[in-house]
Structure 1
Amino acid sequence: MRKYTGKIVVITGAGSGMGRSYALELARRGADLALNDHDEAALMQTASLLPHATRVVLGSFDVAVREDTYAFADQVATALGNADVVINNAGIEGGGQPIWAATESDYTRTMSVNFYGVVHGTRAFLPQVVATKGAIVNVSSIFGLVGTPNCADYNASKFAVRGFTEALSAELLHAGVSVHLVHPDGVATNIARRDDSKVMSDKYLTTSPDHIARVVLDAIGTRRTRIVAGRSARRVWFGSRFLPQRLMAHMTWREMADAIDRSNYPAPSARGGH
């Protein structure tokens, strides 16, 4: 979809990074916007960057909270009308620990935002998008293509988005709704907070979010259900399809060697003969 003039577009996680890039590019293309972020100050900053003529609705809440997402859908319908496009973009980084060292709360929190946030956003706005014959765009990750060390909770959340969206695409095949699954390249955003995440960001997450936003927005409404955006993402997608899993694991360790916290390796062994 290249013409967004007058279209109503919902974006979660619009306070920074990819979400902000989607918002600014869509405003430039003439869309009306419904923007969400859990960080109210960041959301207001995004809103301040929009052209004065842009109609916008803001909702500061956690997408993991189902009731707040459904209330936002009602707010959007009342203030702007039924959504034409929903971009479920909100996400957080994982705990950054191997499986045996991660806590239950790491898995619960990562899944609640990265996966259930997508589920809530899809289900809350689905009646509107069906009515407008619009599009649902769910953002997975390059980590939704291949498993990586110290990222099991994040991998699981992004693979879950992948499975959910592929099923949604099949279910809406005859509904006149476009469904897109986005696997973006390593994108330079401020999602990384830990020291090891910063190493990862500085070395690998270098693609401009503005570039990815343009690629994704141009693909919405086309027959491209899966949008693999960026050179590194395309390499990983190719490898995940055609290379043996064990070889991919070796390649991942080699590629990410200086960005992986090894303090919890090797894996703990059983004690006392059990």
Structure 2
Amino acid sequence: MKDFRDKIVVVTGAGSGMGRAYAVEFARLGARLALNDFDAPALAETVRLLGIDEGERLHSAAFDVGDRAAMERFAGDVRTRLGHAHVVINNAGIEGVGKPVWATPAEAYTRVLHVNFHGVLNGTQAFLPQLIENGEGAIVNVSSIFGLIGPPNHADYSASKFAVRGFTEALMVELRGTRIGVHLVHPGGIATNIARQDRTQAFRHKYLSTPPEAIVRHVIRGIRRGTPKIVYGHGSLKTWLGSNLLPLRWLNPIIWRDMAGVIDRRDYPPSPLTVLPSRDRHHPEPDQDQAA
């Protein structure tokens, strides 16, 4: 798809960050917009910034993208009020709890998968029939560079983004040869407000630096060119290269060294290097000079 003028573009998570940037850029390109966010005041602020009244060029609705029935109602309302969707940007997402696997409660995995994966699943399945009926369109599913590697203290988030990756890559194969483009986006460190917890602020300051407007423009170029996998943003190139070229026995220590200084390590056991050797005949206790 090359021209977005008067095309109907759906954007989830449009209340801030990349979602708001998608709304602004597609509005500039003359598209009609269907916008969602869970945060109603933030979504209303995006609509205010666009300067477009609700009506034949814009429809917005605040709801949880993980709620299948709500997503289906949204798709039906978009069809009724605007027409069949042409482009669907499944962008909505939340951060994990920022703890290692053993300290992350089961409900945290459920919550993150509910939004980050099921939101993509619901948005794709609810709107794909409209694209098929149009005979053209684009599905854009937002994963992460943490859908390329498994970083410490992000297992819940990473699991959801790997799920988006697998789902979207399968969809690409299924829709091969059609005029419906399927695009998988792996953002690097984008300067959004996704990292809100105190324990993730060091991570945010080190990594989240690429302006959301920059990746949005890059993704739109990717849609126009038919690029299936779009990797862009701070740290994305080295992450993509590492995930493709390095065996895990080399890659994992590199990831740890890069991130060890910005993750909360209070839930970690003492390092094996700090544990004294056992006192037996095979491991005699070192003298004071050796221990130092």
- The one-letter amino acid paired with 1:71 is R
- State which of 252, 257, 262 in structure 2 corresponds to 1:259: 262
1:7-156 mapped onto 2 (5 Å cutoff): 7-52=7-52, 55-132=57-134, 133-156=136-159
| Structure 2 Cα separation of the partners of residues 199 and 114 of structure 1 | 23
1:220 equivalent in structure 2: 223
Q: Which runs of 4+ in 1 moved over 4 A?
A: none
| Structure 1 Cα separation of the partners of residues 234 and 203 of structure 2 | 17
- State which of 138, 156, 166 in structure 1 corresponds to 2:169: 166
Q: Taking every aligned residue pair, what percent have the same amino acid on both sides?
A: 55
- The one-letter amino acid paired with 2:32 is D
- 1:163-186 alpha-carbon deviations (Å, 9 max, x no partner): 000000101113321000000121
| Alpha-carbon offset, residue 191 of structure 1 | 1.0
> Which SS does the other structure have where 1:49 is aligned?
helix
- 1:70-129 alpha-carbon deviations (Å, 9 max, x no partner): 000000000000000000000000111111111011100000000000000000001001
| 8 Å Cα contact 2:187-2:215 kept in structure 1 | yes
Normalised TM-score (structure 2) = 0.89
| 8 Å Cα contact 1:15-1:43 kept in structure 2 | yes
Q: Which moved more, 1:16-25 or 1:246-255?
A: 246-255
> Which SS does the other structure have where 1:201 is aligned?
helix
Unaligned runs of 5+ in 2: 272-292
| Structure 2 Cα separation of the partners of residues 264 and 79 of structure 1 | 50
Normalised TM-score (structure 1) = 0.95
> Which SS does the other structure have where 1:3 is aligned?
coil
| 8 Å Cα contact 1:5-1:30 kept in structure 2 | yes
| Structure 1 Cα separation of the partners of residues 72 and 224 of structure 2 | 24
> Which SS does the other structure have where 1:43 is aligned?
helix
| Alpha-carbon offset, residue 217 of structure 1 | 1.0
| Structure 1 Cα separation of the partners of residues 68 and 265 of structure 2 | 37
- The one-letter amino acid paired with 1:85 is V
> Which SS does the other structure have where 1:256 is aligned?
helix
- The one-letter amino acid paired with 2:158 is N
| Structure 2 Cα separation of the partners of residues 241 and 75 of structure 1 | 42
| Alpha-carbon offset, residue 223 of structure 1 | 2.9
> Which SS does the other structure have where 2:22 is aligned?
helix
Q: Which moved more, 1:256-265 or 1:227-236?
A: 227-236
- The one-letter amino acid paired with 1:30 is G
| Structure 1 Cα separation of the partners of residues 226 and 137 of structure 2 | 13
Q: Which moved more, 1:150-159 or 1:196-205?
A: 196-205
| Structure 1 Cα separation of the partners of residues 88 and 235 of structure 2 | 26
Q: Report the count of equivalent residues.
A: 269
| 8 Å Cα contact 1:178-1:222 kept in structure 2 | no
- 1:245-273 alpha-carbon deviations (Å, 9 max, x no partner): 122111111111221111111289xxxxx
| Alpha-carbon offset, residue 51 of structure 1 | 3.7
> Which SS does the other structure have where 2:64 is aligned?
coil
| Alpha-carbon offset, residue 3 of structure 1 | 2.5
| 8 Å Cα contact 2:190-2:234 kept in structure 1 | no
> Which SS does the other structure have where 1:180 is aligned?
strand
| Alpha-carbon offset, residue 221 of structure 1 | 4.0
- 1:33-82 alpha-carbon deviations (Å, 9 max, x no partner): 00000000000000001144781100100001000000000000000000
- The one-letter amino acid paired with 2:124 is T
